[in-house]
Amino acid sequence: MENEAYGPRIQKLQERMAAANVEAFFTLAPPSMRYLTGFTGEEGYLLVVQGGVHLILDGRFTTQAQEECPWVDVIEYTGHFTRSVAELLVAGHTHWLGFEKERISFVQAEQMRTAMPSVVMVPTEGMVEGMRMVKDAHELDMMRAAGRCADKAFSAMIRQLKAGMTENEVAALLEYEMRKAGAQGTSFATIVGSGARGALPHGIASSKVIEHGDVVVIDFGVNENGYMSDCTRTVALGEQPADVLETYAWLLDAQQLGLSLIRAGASARSIDTAVRNKLKEHGLAQYFTHGLGHGVGLEIHEAPRLSQGTDAELQAGEVVTCEPGVYLPGRYGMRVEDSVIVTADGFESLTQLSKELVLP
């Protein structure tokens, strides 16, 4: 992305820093560093002050950072990163340092306190995450591209899926197709849960053989240029008994209802409640054991949440999932998940995959 995209983000962060009464802001979270500077390395330390942006890196990443964000002051540290941070803060006569309390470990906080006794460390929350919720036009294009890549990979995999394969083989095949479609990797460990294993909502693929008649939950995502996709489909190999077909139809109804309520201004909790109530009509609410959805972007799970534990109102430009599930322990599980862009009057889906249960 062009450098001009990062300038406004840094400026906005500096405004948020001023509002939080901190002169400097420190993060070591790779998604935040990437969002603010374009640096894609998996380890580093970013210090933003009102007068500049410093990336403190070890020798593995300095050349990369100079190429990816030439406008940033790249500092190669030897020894411990806290020394470079302390030097910058002392040189700038900085006393109030904001840091992300949810991202930094206790030991790192202690090391920083020891290295810079004259600096007051101020815990902050959601400083960068709050900015990342609403995606800009460029980010939305990246999310659309990730969604298309995931669709392509899943479609290629599903043509090859057959009874007798293990869950691991299916996951490997899907991940191979992701890479072929342009992904740099997955956004999380691919979930393939067949038969009774499908009732484990986050049971990653195992060596279990998928049998004819199994219902299979496949939850997968690509990482394409740092942006994540998230989608779940449930497929069945072979004809299914009426109760399975009926349960799946009710689940689809519930997901459709959830999607239909997504729009800017909607209460995230009320959408979760509506979907839960819909499942309750069929006696299935107690088998839906997780939140309805979550934000997606540079991280697979980010703000906002669609659950009972939130007061968030959806905003246009957020990307959220809608993923109700029904898990019958010892029998089977089902989940259907789409990721969508919230718009003023509805949503734009990032996934176009079929929701037909029984594979042809």
Residues binding Mn ion (CB under 5 A): 230, 321
Q: Which residue is nearest to Mn ion (CB)?
A: 230
Residue 309 beta carbon to Mn ion: minimum distance, rounded to whole angstroms: 16
Q: Which of 115, 104, 124, 101 is nearest to 45 (CA)?
A: 104
For Mn ion, the closer of residues 236 and 336 by Cβ is 336
Residue 147 beta carbon to Mn ion: minimum distance, rounded to whole angstroms: 13
Q: Please, what's the largest Cα pairwise distance for the chain?
A: 72
Residue 191 beta carbon to Mn ion: minimum distance, rounded to whole angstroms: 10
Cβ burial of 164 (10 Å; 0-12, 13-18, 19+) is exposed
* Vertex 240 angle, CA 248 and 289, to 5°: 35
Distance CA 215, CA 290 (A): 20
**C-alpha 17 chain-centroid distance:** 25
β-strands 227-228, 191-194: how paired?
A: unpaired
Token pair of 32 as six digits: 């935040």
347, 350, 356, 357 alpha-carbon torsion, rounded to 10°: -100
For Mn ion, the closer of residues 70 and 309 by Cβ is 309
* Helices assigned H by DSSP within 53-166: 62-68, 81-91, 106-115, 129-132, 137-158
For Mn ion, the closer of residues 119 and 306 by Cβ is 306
Residue 173 beta carbon to Mn ion: minimum distance, rounded to whole angstroms: 21
Residue 321 beta carbon to Mn ion: minimum distance, rounded to whole angstroms: 4
Residue 255 beta carbon to Mn ion: minimum distance, rounded to whole angstroms: 12
Q: Give 243's Cβ-side CA count (13 Å radius).
A: 7
For Mn ion, the closer of residues 44 and 291 by Cβ is 291
- Give the C-alpha distances (Å, rounded to integers) separating 193 from 88, 166, 237, 317, 331: 50, 10, 13, 32, 12
Distance CA 62, CA 33 (A): 14
Token pair of 295 as six digits: 């934000």
- 302-306: strand order across its sheet: 302-306, 293-295, 319-322, 338-343, 346-349
For Mn ion, the closer of residues 98 and 325 by Cβ is 325
For Mn ion, the closer of residues 230 and 272 by Cβ is 230
For Mn ion, the closer of residues 62 and 321 by Cβ is 321
Residue 302 beta carbon to Mn ion: minimum distance, rounded to whole angstroms: 11
The identity of residue 330, as a single letter, is: G
For Mn ion, the closer of residues 230 and 318 by Cβ is 230
Residue 290 beta carbon to Mn ion: minimum distance, rounded to whole angstroms: 9
